[in-house]
């Protein structure tokens, strides 16, 4: 009879301190009988015991070999015999009982690790004070308690190390200790120069090897939008990576031409970019792989060409997730496989570092009479060295020991990794130029032209440099009279040398406003010339391109302590330091960032300036910019800035790039983990909502299914209208058929995103994109070719397995969400749209076929656990339901309630409306005043939908969020 659970627990509690195995000395001759108390043991020929024949006939199963005495009857036949033995051996029996008695006494006298002396007393005699005051115990137990206390203290001192004495806050806040702590904390994730400022005000995230600010701790979404629309928004873009290329111009262009194509827009060889007066942007691909295998978007800037020199210098700015892929591709096309070891700086002693004959005065040698009243004598540390400098080795995209320079012996091209060498700030808004005009001041000319190790006095000796500096100053002063930053040509570059902005720091925060003074005619002409033609060619030059100048400016920066000392010596407190110290001249680059360049509404919205500085000067420029009333934002506002410009944001909106694929996988894992943390009753059942992939977008499956549908439709149309085709149509269809046959024989390739400007303009004209209010047509609609079957066939033959970037504007209320489905409306839906635009069709609820299987598994789990307790009663044959589920690839162990398991069914025909694509960004747009979504749709599906739509409703689609069954009408826009 089986023991109940409560009795089993009680028995286990009673037998907790009982011996499970007792060993005692005995001869091998009697050991077998003694183990069982002197009784006869089966399968052994003992004295007076039963024979092997008799025991084997009675008990055929061999019991396990036991090493000692076991209490009670055992299931396997051990323990007590079924019959009492006829006789026992007295010696063996006595030894066995003696071993049991000794084991019992040992168990009684032995105390466990958690027992104490006072626990031996009855409960009515125990007191709480006995644990720390032994005099509360009876006298007979005091000695034992004292010994146990000393023993526990000794054991604790041996095992536990003495905790290190923590430094006081004053010691931790010392400059040297702070730098050591900061360097230790940024071994895995690099800090920007503005990290500490951001860490006090922002939610920090660890991305791409850096520690970056995501969003402020206070609510500022609408204030940030107002700053972008009417004033200025400031962001730190120093985490972007800079790659420098040096070499002959023709060799550089020949190598870079393999990474881009003119069909997708201006490339590195465009004349307006090659001169160095404009900054360009291009999407780079694998060498010779256009239009497939893209890497991602980059911005580039050529150094203005010097007359008579063919040696050029190029900076390429890229996202951290794209840097390694781009760097390896550049090394391949430029043939730069030879890594150049960095120069080893010799260790210089303190005596060699200061060759001046006048030694610094020792504070200890200064008498007390010469000390200023109130001044403290500084303690000298002869043995201790200087505090360690804040030195960052490597960056978030490479190891500290990896090389940063590569050169080619055949082409002479040199590649340098300038990541974290240049600080980059972005100012967004129409008054960005006003903020820069109030923060920066052109550098003053150095009067003393003595020999100096600083770069500016040497620079002032050349008269041509001073003339160029004066021209740049005049152009910079002309910026103050411009009303908006968007009036300037996009990508304009201005080189400038400015004074240390800390010298003109205001006492309180002020809001920078444009200068509205009445300008003279000469200034008006300069501003008109600046707005029409941009910055003159010679004014784009800057000494920031020189590595030696950048290092000189960084090494000779005035410290805050020295600057405060110089301020304290001023006769009038708060006045400006005059003359400016020679160390306070910094070369900078001002690069204009164009705003919205596509579409017909909100032109130039979000335009601004990028400020490029040498490293080490980040906070020296950041605080003065903040004091001019700018609004500071993080990564979240960068995404919203791209969304309001209707521009794809990297890596979110680049699904065909390696970085975009990695981002989609990380985002899916994050959303799935968040979904699993919610209780099952509070989760959205996406299966019932008809949403196959709520956390990702299966672009490859979408493109493949539409290609198969197009092939079937084309074959049917060809069979029906074979006799009515003209000769020209015959030629077109033969080309399409040949392409389809080639695609059918070969495996389906990966999808691509359509970036051909000419094809995008043609497709945009077919969609008849209008503004959100439907006021006017797009510029390309008037010149677009008419939409017909032949035009669609030729377009589809040129762009197979392609997706196109679209902007969707809701025609009624609603807020689109990420991963929302873009579907094609039916004829009945368009009739409903003509009657009432606010209402849309409804998706019928779907049935969850996996819910019963999951609930059945949950119910079967406790029954299986309870059946395992009944040994010998469980059958080895599993139930029929378990047999069917184990053979199914979608086993119940991999199922999640509310989510479709892999592989997914057909994504195009799963719902009542045919799916064309998905949304990657979606929100209520403050710039338009209604919901807007950005995403991709299949080119093949879009062409098929446009052909079947009436002219008055062409471009109308349906959008449905993953958590809703309601479709909403949207207007499709392809902005070029």
The DSSP bridge pattern shows strands 190-191 and 210-216 to be parallel
Find out whether 445 and 580 touch, Cβ atoms under 8 Å.
no
**Other C-beta atoms lying within 10 Å of the C-beta of residue 36:** 18
Confidence of residue 867 (pLDDT cuts 50, 70, 90): low
Least confident of 59-63, 441-445, 710-714: 59-63
* Close Cβ partners of 622 (under 8 Å, ≥ 6 residues apart): 193, 194, 197, 236, 425
By CB neighbour count within 10 A (0-12 exposed, 13-18 middle, 19+ buried), where does 954 fall? middle
Whether 806 and 923 have beta carbons less than 8 Å apart is answered as no
Write down the pLDDT at residue 216.
94
pLDDT value of residue 353: 35
Q: What pLDDT band is residue 109 in, cutting at 50, 70 and 90?
A: confident
Alpha-carbon distance of 261 to 41, in angstroms, equals 92
Instruction: Tell me the average pLDDT across 666-686.
Output: 91
Higher pLDDT, 859 or 223: 223
Between 429 and 62, name the one with better pLDDT. Answer: 429
Mean pLDDT score, 6-22: 66
Alpha carbon distance 636, 631 (integer Å): 14
Sign of torsion, CA 93 98 99 100? Answer: positive
Distance of CA 149 to the CA centre of its chain: 55
User: What number is the average pLDDT over the span 34-43?
Assistant: 43
Give residue 591's pLDDT. Answer: 94
The two structure tokens encoding residue 769: 């994109």
| 61 closest CA partner among 49, 72, 77 | 77
Given a cut of 70, whether residue 311 has pLDDT beyond it is yes
* Alpha carbons 976 and 967: distance in angstroms, whole number: 27
| CB proximity list for 806: less than 8 A, separation 6 or greater | 822, 917, 934, 935, 936, 937, 972, 973, 974
Query: Among 221-230, 307-316, 386-395, 897-906, which is the least confidently predicted range?
Result: 386-395
Mean pLDDT of 723-751: 44
Instruction: Please state whether 872 falls in left (phi above 0), alpha (psi between -120 and 50) or beta.
Output: left
Give the contacts of 507 (CB within 8 A, at least 6 positions apart): 574
Tokens for 349? 């002693």
Q: How high is the pLDDT of residue 948?
A: 87
Q: Name the least confident of 477-491, 653-667, 929-943.
A: 477-491
C-alpha span between 94 and 90 (Å, rounded): 6
Question: How are beta strands 241-248 and 493-499 bridged, if at all?
Answer: unpaired
Is the C-alpha dihedral spanning 939, 944, 949, 952 positive or negative? positive
What pLDDT was estimated at residue 631?
Answer: 94
CB 41 within 8 A of CB 33: yes
The residues, ordered by sequence, that sit 6+ positions from 49 with a Cβ below 8 Å of its Cβ are 33, 40, 41, 85
The pLDDT assigned to 775 comes to 43
pLDDT exceeds cutoff 60 at 918:
yes
Beta bridge partners of 82: none
- Please check the confidence at residue 964 and state whether its pLDDT lies above 80: yes
Burial class (CB in 10 A: 0-12, 13-18, 19+), 405: middle
Give the residue among 41, 22, 24 at the shortest CA–CA distance from 80: 41
Query: How big is the chain, counted in residues?
Result: 976
Q: What is the pLDDT of residues 161-170, one digit of tens each?
A: 556 667 888 9
Question: What would the mean pLDDT of 99-113 be, rounded to a whole number?
Answer: 79
**What's the whole-number mean pLDDT along residues 114-139?**
76
Contact between 934 and 774 under an 8 Å Cβ cutoff? The reply is no
Give the pLDDT mean for 943-949: 89
Residue 67 pLDDT = 45
> Lowest-confidence range among 86-90, 229-233, 544-548?
86-90
Sheet holding 210-216, edge to edge: 190-191, 210-216, 202-207
Helices (H), 768-892: 789-798, 827-835, 851-869, 880-887
DSSP assignment of 634-675 equals: -HHHHHHHHHHTT-PPTTTT-TTSHHHHHHHHHHHHHHHHHH
Q: Answer yes or no: is pLDDT of 564 > 60.
A: yes
Q: Where are the alpha helices (DSSP H) in 870-938?
A: 880-887
pLDDT at residue 151 in the model: 82
The band of 720, judged by pLDDT with boundaries at 50, 70 and 90, is: low
Exposed e or buried b per residue across 316-350, where buried means at least 16 C-beta atoms within 10 angstroms of its C-beta: bbbbbbbbebbbebbbebbbbeeeeeeeeeeeeee
pLDDT band, residue 674 (cuts 50/70/90) = very high
Within 8 A by CB and 6+ apart from 566, the residues are 577, 581
Phi/psi for 637 (5° steps) reads: -75, -25
Give the pLDDT of residue 46. 40
Residue with tokens 């395992």: 868
DSSP 338: E
Residue 616 DSSP label: T
Percent of the chain with pLDDT over 70: 74
Q: Is the pLDDT of residue 933 over 60?
A: yes
The secondary structure of 302-335 as a DSSP string is EPPPPTT--EEEEEEEE-HHHHHHHHHHHHHHHT
**How high is the pLDDT of residue 355?**
39
Residue 915: in which H helix or E strand, if any?
strand 915-925
Q: Where residue 282 falls among pLDDT bands split at 50, 70, 90?
A: very high
Lowest mean pLDDT of 498-502, 738-742, 799-803, name the range.
738-742
| pLDDT for the residue numbered 446 | 76
pLDDT of residue 18: 58
Q: Which of 304, 314, 232 is nearest to 611 (CA)?
A: 232
> What pLDDT, on the 0 to 100 scale, is given for residue 598?
84
646: pLDDT strictly greater than 50: yes
pLDDT of residue 628: 93
pLDDT at 781: 44
Averaged pLDDT, 60-74: 49
Report, as an integer, the average pLDDT of 934-941.
94
Q: In this predicted model, what pLDDT tens digit does every residue of 460-473 receive, in sequence order?
A: 888 888 889 898 99
Contact, 824 vs 957, CB < 8 A? yes
Task: Copy the structure tokens of residue 144.
Answer: 């034992």
Alpha-carbon gap, residue 275 to 304, rounded angstroms:
6
Q: Are 556 and 504 in contact (CB under 8 A)?
A: no
Q: Hey, what are 648's tokens?
A: 């794809």
Enumerate the H helices of 448-520 as residue ranges: 455-460, 463-478
Mean pLDDT of the chain: 78
pLDDT score at 26: 42
Count of helices and strands (H, E) across the chain: 30, 23
Cα(133)–Cα(145) distance, rounded to whole angstroms?
10
CA 752 to chain CA centroid, Å, is 24
């Amino acid at each position: 009879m089986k023991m109940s659970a409560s009795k089993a627990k009680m028995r286990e509690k009673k037998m907790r301190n009982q011996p499970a195995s007792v060993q005692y000395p005995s001869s091998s001759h009697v050991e077998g009988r003694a183990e069982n108390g002197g009784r006869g043991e089966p399968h052994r020929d003992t004295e007076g015991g039963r024979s092997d024949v008799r025991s084997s006939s009675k008990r055929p199963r061999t019991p396990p070999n036991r090493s000692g005495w076991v209490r009670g009857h055992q299931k396997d036949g051990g323990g007590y015999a079924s019959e009492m033995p006829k006789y026992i051996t007295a010696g063996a029996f006595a030894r066995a009982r003696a071993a049991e008695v000794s084991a019992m006494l040992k168990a009684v006298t032995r105390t466990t690790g958690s027992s104490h002396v006072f626990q031996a007393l009855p409960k009515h005699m125990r007191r709480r004070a006995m644990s720390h005051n032994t005099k509360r115990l009876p006298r007979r137990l005091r000695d034992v308690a004292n010994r146990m206390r000393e023993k526990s203290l000794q054991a604790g001192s041996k095992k536990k190390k003495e905790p290190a004495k923590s430094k006081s806050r004053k010691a931790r806040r010392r400059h040297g200790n702070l730098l050591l702590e900061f360097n230790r904390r940024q071994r895995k994730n690099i800090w920007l120069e503005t990290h500490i400022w951001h860490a006090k005000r922002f939610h920090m995230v660890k991305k791409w090897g850096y520690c970056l600010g995501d969003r402020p701790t206070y609510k500022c979404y609408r204030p940030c939008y107002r700053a972008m629309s009417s004033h200025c928004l400031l962001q730190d873009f120093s985490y972007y990576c800079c790659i420098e290329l040096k070499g002959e111009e023709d060799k550089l262009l020949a190598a870079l031409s393999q990474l881009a194509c003119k069909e997708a827009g201006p490339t590195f060889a465009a004349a307006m970019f090659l001169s160095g007066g404009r900054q360009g942007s291009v999407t780079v691909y694998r060498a010779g792989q256009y239009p497939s295998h893209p890497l991602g978007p980059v911005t580039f800037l050529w150094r203005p060409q010097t007359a008579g020199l063919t040696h050029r210098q190029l900076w390429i700015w890229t996202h951290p997730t794209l840097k390694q892929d781009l760097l390896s591709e550049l090394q391949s096309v430029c043939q730069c496989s030879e890594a150049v070891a960095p120069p080893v700086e010799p260790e210089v002693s303190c005596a060699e570092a200061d060759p001046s004959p006048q030694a610094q005065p020792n504070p200890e040698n200064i008498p007390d009479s010469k000390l200023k009243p109130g001044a403290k004598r500084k303690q000298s540390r002869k043995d201790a060295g200087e505090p360690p400098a804040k030195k960052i080795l490597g960056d978030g995209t490479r190891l500290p020991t990896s090389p940063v320079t590569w050169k080619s012996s055949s082409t002479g091209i040199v590649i340098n990794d300038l990541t974290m060498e240049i600080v980059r700030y972005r100012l967004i808004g129409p008054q960005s130029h006003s903020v820069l005009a109030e923060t920066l001041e052109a550098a003053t000319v150095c009067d003393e032209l003595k020999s100096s190790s600083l770069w500016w006095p040497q620079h002032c000796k050349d008269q041509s440099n001073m003339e160029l500096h004066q021209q740049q100053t005049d152009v910079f002063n002309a910026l103050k009279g411009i009303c908006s930053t968007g009036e300037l040509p996009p990508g304009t570059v201005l080189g400038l040398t400015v004074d240390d902005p800390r010298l003109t720091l205001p006492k309180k925060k002020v809001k920078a406003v444009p200068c509205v003074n009445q300008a003279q005619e000469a200034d008006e002409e300069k501003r008109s010339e600046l707005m029409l033609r941009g910055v003159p060619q010679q004014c784009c030059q800057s000494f920031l391109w020189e590595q030696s100048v950048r290092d000189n400016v960084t090494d000779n920066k005035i410290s805050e302590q020295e600057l405060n000392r110089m301020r304290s010596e001023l006769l009038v407190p708060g006045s400006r330091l005059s003359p400016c110290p020679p160390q306070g001249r910094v070369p900078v680059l001002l690069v204009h960032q164009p705003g919205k360049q596509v579409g017909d509404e909100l032109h130039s919205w979000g335009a601004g300036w990028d400020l490029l500085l040498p490293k080490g000067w980040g906070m020296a420029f950041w605080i003065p910019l903040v004091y001019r009333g700018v609004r500071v934002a993080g990564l979240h506002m960068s995404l919203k800035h791209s969304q309001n410009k209707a521009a794809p944001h990297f890596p979110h909106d680049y699904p065909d790039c390696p970085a975009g694929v990695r981002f989609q996988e990380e985002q899916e894992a994050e959303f799935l983990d968040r979904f699993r943390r919610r209780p099952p009753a509070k989760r959205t059942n996406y299966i019932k909502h008809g949403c196959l992939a709520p956390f990702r977008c299966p672009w490859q499956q979408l493109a493949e299914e539409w290609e198969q549908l197009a092939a079937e439709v084309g074959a049917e149309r060809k069979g029906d209208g074979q006799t009515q085709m003209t000769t020209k149509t015959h030629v077109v269809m033969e080309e399409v058929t040949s392409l389809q046959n080639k695609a059918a024989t070969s495996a389906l390739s990966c999808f691509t995103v359509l970036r051909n400007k000419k094809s995008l303009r043609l497709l945009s004209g077919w969609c008849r994109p209008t503004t959100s209010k439907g006021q006017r047509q797009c510029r390309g609609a008037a010149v677009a070719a008419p939409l017909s079957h032949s035009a669609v066939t030729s377009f589809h033959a040129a762009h197979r397995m392609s997706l196109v970037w679209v902007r969707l504007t809701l025609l009624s209320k609603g807020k689109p969400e990420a991963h929302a489905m873009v579907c094609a409306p039916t004829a009945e839906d368009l009739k409903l749209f003509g009657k009432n635009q606010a209402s849309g069709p409804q998706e019928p609820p779907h049935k969850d076929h996996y819910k019963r299987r999951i609930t059945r598994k949950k119910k079967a789990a406790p029954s299986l656990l309870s059946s395992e307790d009944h040994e010998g009663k469980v059958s080895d044959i599993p139930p029929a339901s378990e047999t069917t589920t184990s053979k199914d690839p979608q086993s119940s162990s991999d199922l999640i309630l509310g989510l479709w398991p892999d592989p997914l069914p057909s994504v195009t025909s799963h719902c009542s409306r045919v799916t064309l694509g998905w949304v990657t960004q979606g929100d209520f747009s403050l710039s338009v005043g209604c919901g807007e979504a950005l995403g991709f749709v299949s080119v093949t599906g879009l062409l098929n939908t446009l052909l079947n739509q009436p002219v008055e409703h062409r471009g109308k689609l349906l959008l449905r969020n993953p958590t809703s069954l309601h479709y909403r009408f949207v207007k499709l826009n392809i902005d070029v």
